[in-house]
Amino acid sequence: MTLSSPMTNSLRTQPDTDGHFGQFGGRYVAETLMPLILDLEKEYRRAKTDPAFEEEFQYLLRQYVGRPNPLYFAKRLTEDLGGAKIYLKREELNHTGAHKINNCIGQILLAKRMGKTRIIAETGAGQHGVATATVAALFNIPCTIFMGALDVERQAPNVFRMKLLGAEVRAVESGTRTLKDAMNEALRDWVANVHDTFYIIGTVAGPHPYPELVRDFQSVIGKETREQIMQAEGRLPDMLVACVGGGSNAIGMFHPFLDDTDVEIVGVEAAGRGIELGDGHHAASIAGGAPGVLHGNKTFLLQDEDGQITDAHSISAGLDYPGIGPEHAWLHEIGRARYVSVTDDEALEAFQKLCRLEGIIPALESAHALAAIEKLAPQMGKDKIIVVNLSGRGDKDIFTVAKALGVEI
C-alpha cells in the first residue's frame, strides 16, 4: 500500500473511537471488564486535556526518571559498521534501567485520578514489574505483580528487587508458566477486583485504551529524539530501529515520526533459535504468526490452525510473548513500518559488540535492534543516519548471557 498525502491524512490519529487500528486492536474482554475500560477511557480523555496531569507527568519524568536522556552518537560502532551514522537513544539511563518507567508513571497518575487503591501488573523478565513496584512505592499504593513461575526462577534478582520495593510477587503456575500466563492471571485478578484495582499493563497491547495510552506515555522517546537529532544534525534521521516484543519502546520511538514518510521505520522481532524451525522456537508474531484475538485485542499471534496459542521463545525474556501490539500489526499491514527478525545468536553477538566498542551493556531486548543494524547500516551511505532505541540496560541479563556463552559466574 502506498502512502498518499500523509500530511492531510495523518497516521498519528489512530486508533478510531472504538480502539481499532485498521482491523486490529479493539476491546475483546469479558463483559465484567467493559464498564471499567470504558471508564478508564473517559478518565484518560479528561487527563489528556488537563494541564495539571501533564505537568505532574513531565515533572516526574524530569526529576524522578532523569529525562531527557541523551541521544548519543556511537562513533566506534559507526566506524565498525562502515555505513550510516548510528545514534543511540539512551533509554537505558532512565531510573530502573529501561523505558518501562515512562508508562508506569503515566498509569499510576491515572490510577490516582480514578481513586484506585490497589495496583496489579504482569511481568515477564521482571522489568515492567520492577518499574510498576517502583511507582507503587513512590505513590504508596499496594501492588501485586503476576509473574510466570518459570520466569520467577529465571529472574531471581528482579523478583528480589520487586520485593524490596514492597510489592507482592505472585508466581503463576498455570499454562506455560510464562508472561502470557501472568497476563491471564492478572486479568483474572482484575475481573475479581474491579472496584478498587488498577491494572498497569506494561506494553502497547491489551484492550483499548491501553495500546493508545501506553503509546502516548512512551512517545516521549520519539519526541525527544526528534528535537535531539535536529540539534545534532539539523535534520530528521533516515531510519529508526527498535526491538519489538509487545512493542512499547518501539511505538514510543516511532509514533512521532509516522507522518515523516522519508524516515524509514524498522521493528525487530525475536527469531529465537530460528523462525524456520517453527512453533516454540521463536517469538516473531508478524513473521511467523497470523491475526487473532488474545488478551483483549486483535493482532498478529503465534497460533496453530485451530487458534490455540503456541509458545514463544526468545533468549530475551522481554520479547518472549506470542503477540505484538495492534498498532504494529497495523503499521505492518499498511506498509508504513517494516518488521525484520534477529536470532538469539545474532543478538548475543551484538550484545557483546556494544559492550566492547561503546562501553555500554545493552539489554538483550535492545541487542536485537543492534543486531538488525549490522545488516542495514553497511548498505547505507555515510551521510545517512540511523537512530537505534537502546531501550534498556543489560545488567539483568548477565546471567543469561554468561550461560549462553558457557561461562560460569
- Which of 139, 175, 259, 404 forms a contact with other proteins (CB under 8 A)? 175
The answer to whether residue 171 forms part of the interface with other proteins (CB under 8 A) is no
The answer to whether residue 28 forms part of the interface with other proteins (CB under 8 A) is yes
Annotation marks residue 341 as catalytic: no
The answer to whether residue 295 forms part of the interface with other proteins (CB under 8 A) is yes
The answer to whether residue 337 forms part of the interface with other proteins (CB under 8 A) is no
- Which of 2, 4, 5, 31 forms a contact with other proteins (CB under 8 A)? 31
d(CA 170, CA 229) in angstroms, rounded, equals 42
Taking the CA atoms of residue 276, residue 1, residue 336 and residue 261 in that order, the dihedral angle to the nearest 10 degrees is 140
The answer to whether residue 117 forms part of the interface with other proteins (CB under 8 A) is no
The answer to whether residue 116 forms part of the interface with other proteins (CB under 8 A) is no
Catalytic residue among 85, 264, 391, 396: 391
Give the closest residue to 241 by CA, choosing from 391, 97, 68, 392: 391
The residue assigned the cell 511481568 is: 123
Residue 344 CA from chain centroid, whole number = 18
**Segment lying near other proteins (by CB under 8 A), choices 25-33, 45-53, 75-83, 261-269:** 25-33
The answer to whether residue 66 forms part of the interface with other proteins (CB under 8 A) is no
Residue 341 φ/ψ, nearest 5 degrees: -135, 155
- Which of 18, 276, 383, 408 forms a contact with other proteins (CB under 8 A)? 18
Give the closest residue to 198 by CA, choosing from 149, 125, 132: 132
Q: How far is the CB of 297 from other proteins (least distance, A)?
A: 10
Give the nearer residue to other proteins in terms of CB position, either 301 or 340. Answer: 301
The answer to whether residue 27 forms part of the interface with other proteins (CB under 8 A) is yes
The answer to whether residue 194 forms part of the interface with other proteins (CB under 8 A) is yes
- Which of 192, 230, 402, 407 forms a contact with other proteins (CB under 8 A)? 192
Amino acid at 335: G
Which region holds residue 255: left if phi is over 0, alpha if psi is between -120 and 50, else beta? alpha
Round to the nearest angstrom and report the end-to-end CA distance of the chain. 51
| Residues that contact other proteins, how many (by CB under 8 A) | 36
d(CA 350, CA 240) in angstroms, rounded, equals 17
d(CA 260, CA 273) in angstroms, rounded, equals 35
Sheet holding 20-21, edge to edge: 20-21, 24-28, 296-301, 290-294
Q: Which three cell numbers stand for residue 156?
A: 531471581
Count the alpha carbons within 13 Å of 169 in the hemisphere toward its beta carbon: 29
Annotation marks residue 122 as catalytic: yes
Contact 21, 329 (CB under 8 A): yes
Give the nearer residue to other proteins in terms of CB position, either 35 or 335. Answer: 35
Annotation marks residue 212 as catalytic: no
Catalytic residue among 122, 185, 224, 269: 122
Catalytic residue among 100, 116, 298, 396: 100
The answer to whether residue 301 forms part of the interface with other proteins (CB under 8 A) is yes
- Which of 102, 155, 248, 303 forms a contact with other proteins (CB under 8 A)? 303
Q: Which residues are catalytic?
A: 100, 122, 391
* Contact residues for other proteins, defined by CB under 8 A: 18, 26-36, 174-175, 180-181, 184, 187-188, 191-192, 194-195, 292-296, 298, 301, 303, 305-309
